[in-house]
Amino acid sequence: MVTGVDALDRRIIAALRLNGRATYAELGRTVGLSASSVHERVGKLEAAGVITGYHAVVDPSTVGLGVTALVGIHPTDTAESEEVADALADLPEVESCYAVAGDEAFVVKVRVATVDELEQTLGRLRRITGVARTRTTVVLSTRFEGRPNNRELDGA
């Protein structure tokens, strides 16, 4: 837990994760504060780097990205993790990158339009210096994703 973030801040964060477009007045009603108090707290959370941004959630298939895969990246014995991570960040198809424990150094989420594009992307991943091999799991359907943990909003 981040130092300096109290229970009210966590409730504001939970409410924003549910609705990033909520007004300060709406947030205030949700957490029991005035709009100006919420505005001040949100500003402090942003300045402290707790809240790092706001974004629109888009259905990938509606923008032509109908294939999702999770790809485990197995490093070579001499791989430099930062160099591999930087190379992964250069691939626009890589939506998310997680450093993980185990045989794999990273697991990345890849979104592309077709299986042919996935094959091409996997080839580019395997050519990254420091990548020994990959292990790919193709996503058949997404039950839920990016769901906020809002136990704080519920008072748990």
pTM of the model: 0.80
CATH of 7-47, one of 3.10.50.40, 1.20.1530.20, 3.30.70.890, 1.10.10.10: 1.10.10.10
pLDDT at 154: 56
Domain with CATH 1.10.10.10 in the chain: 7-47
Where in the sequence of the chain do the CATH 3.30.70.920 domains occur?
60-138
Question: What pLDDT score was predicted for residue 1?
Answer: 44
CB-based contact 79:130 (threshold 8 Å): yes
Which residues of the chain, if any, have pLDDT below 70? 1-3, 150-156
Domain at 60-138, CATH class: alpha beta
CB 28 within 8 A of CB 35: yes
Q: Minimal CA–CA distance to 27: which of 137, 17, 35?
A: 35
Which alpha helices (DSSP H) does the chain contain, by range?
A: 7-18, 24-31, 35-47, 81-89, 115-126
The pLDDT assigned to 148 comes to: 74
